[in-house]
Structure 1
């Protein structure tokens, strides 16, 4: 189980670090500039250091550390971690998340709703899907996973579409933790949802930050690539919101294959490797306590 949890967290970070190089570029621009990105090289729009990650990984770890602080009722602690991260002056904060931060006084859900209306009803971004995976890593009870997947989403993104994607994603993750086949897990959870498709063809939408588009591209890469490397490299070279799509897809694929099966040249490059390993250990402990309750 620890290997799977490590694989999931590193999968997010590797996808994030790899995809950040091509974020906001078109597929054609990626080809013109790099040919094909297959290594973590940094740079990109944020001028990242070699092995540096972005908000996708930072907010995922904020959720982890909130759960670590109070696994019975982590939402308030997750919020404290969000504010702590905001105070580090990060290089990037998503649009809906930033708007919620600006409106926050003492109620995350009210702040998210206010931000939603200020943005003309647009808060269905992928900023909660990118960070939700720790919920399914820490807990084994489906009701708890569903509840916390939705609540952590509603903290910054009022739109139900964001929460819906988090619930589906974490249900897939739960099945992988129970050693179910990835393709079977995906098709079981997307049945009778807006995401139902065989994904033989590329999605007919851009790989952008709208959560529905993001989720479709995540599912496409997961269902059409055999290896972890193919998943994250595929998402990276499409451009668009490539770091987030690669991080989200990488999280599930890393969970499926486990840490020991990840390319070492990727895992060893991540600057926050020790933090990820420590967080994985803590999540594993929390999960073991949850199972034995």
Structure 2
């Protein structure tokens, strides 16, 4: 792989962690509450929500690390290995975890298969609490590993999401996000448009929201209209729409994450999704060192990003394409 591709892969995982850590102290605050307390959040803050030191990551990055380490150790997607790592993580007592994620991993721990755990939890939830953002926040490592294999990227994105989040808005949300990130890693001319073209079977609610982002990329009028409607709830469609808009329209990765986090709401996850996108862009500046210096997992993230670029390499043909 080229050095720019390596830089973008590192930027993707770094951005995810930076968005997560910048958003963690103000999670659940409104934009107005954030402004009254902090003005504009541009620095890693200590304490606040969850009462942790500056630069502390949450379940968003923790679970992405589980996914990345599984992909590298298994040289591909092994749902049983992913599930086992999720169970080990839950057993270690994380300070932050989503309700659907907790319930699904608890079922995995009790012996439910990865193919069934998320489905059971999804079916037990009423509409309005059954399509959270807990799988899109962690899925970016798949985009790095399978960036050159569109069919496999779709398959593993959907299957991995379904371990905890089986709603089609969640599974296809991971597909859209990962195809977009994969296109950014390859420096494709229209990664979001290609992601939409590859996701025509996705639920209408998801496609309509993402099409609005795509329209906004080239139209100030569409951008202004979308800006008024962006939301930062835990609903996967809201998170993905806002993350894609902030991640793809800002002038630099730092601005993208600051914009997303200061909108309030589910700030760590919206920040993480935005950061993964913005960090993978070939046309933005690198993330600020003052943020990265606060992230204890920085070296681990960088090492995994490079290793993910080589996942499946031994099964590729001489042109670097999977057979």
Q: Equivalent of 2:41, from 37, 42, 67?
A: 37
Aligned to 1:144: 152
Offset from partner CA, 1:24-76 (integer Å, 9 cap, x none): 00011001111110011232211121211000000001110111121244211
SS at match of 1:285: coil
The equivalent of 2:204 in structure 1 is none
Q: SS state of the match for residue 2, structure 1?
A: helix
1:222 Cα deviation from its structure 2 partner: 2.4
Which of 105, 110, 127 is the aligned partner of 2:134? 127
RMSD of aligned Cα (Å): 1.9
Instruction: Quote the offset at 1:209 in angstroms.
Output: 0.6
| Conserved 8 A contact 2:70-2:77 | no
Alignment deviations for residues 94-143 of structure 1 (CA, whole Å, 9 cap, x no partner): 11101112333231232212212322253211110011111110122111
Structure 2: unaligned runs, 5 residues or longer: 201-206, 217-222
- Alpha-carbon distance in 1 for matches of 2:40, 2:312: 39
Alignment check: 8 A CA contact 2:251 2:284 kept: no
The equivalent residue for 1:212 is: 237
Describe how 1:43-192 pairs up with structure 2 within 5 A: 43-104=47-108, 105-121=111-127, 122-139=129-146, 140-181=148-189, 184-190=190-196
Residue 264 of structure 1 deviates from its aligned partner by 1.2
Q: 1:285 to 1:189 in 2, by over 3 A?
A: closer
Give the count of matched residue pairs: 291
TM-score, L = length of structure 1: 0.93
SS at match of 1:261: coil
**TM value normalised by structure 2:** 0.85
Query: 2 CA distance for matches of 1:107 and 1:35?
Result: 46
Paired with 1:176 and 1:145, the residues of 2 have a C-alpha distance of 14
SS of residue paired to 2:103: helix
- Structure 1 residues 68 and 40, CA gap change in structure 2 (3 angstroms): same
2:280 to 255, 267, 285: 255
Q: Aligned equivalents of 1:264 and 1:59: distance in 2?
A: 24
Unaligned runs of 5+ in 1: none
User: Deviation per CA, 1:206-248, whole angstroms, max 9, x where unpaired?
Assistant: 3111001111111221243111011000011111001101111
What is the CA deviation profile of residues 5-26 of structure 1, one whole-angstrom value per residue up to 9, with x for unaligned ones? 1111101000000011211000
Question: 2: distance between equivalents of 1:203 and 1:69?
Answer: 44
Equivalent residue for 2:211, pick from 193, 196, 205:
196
Determine if the alignment matches structure 1 residue 2 to structure 2 residue 3.
Answer: no
**Larger RCO of the pair (alpha carbons < 8 Å, separation 6+):** 1
Quick check: 11-20 or 103-112, which moved more?
A: 103-112
1:233 aligns with: 258
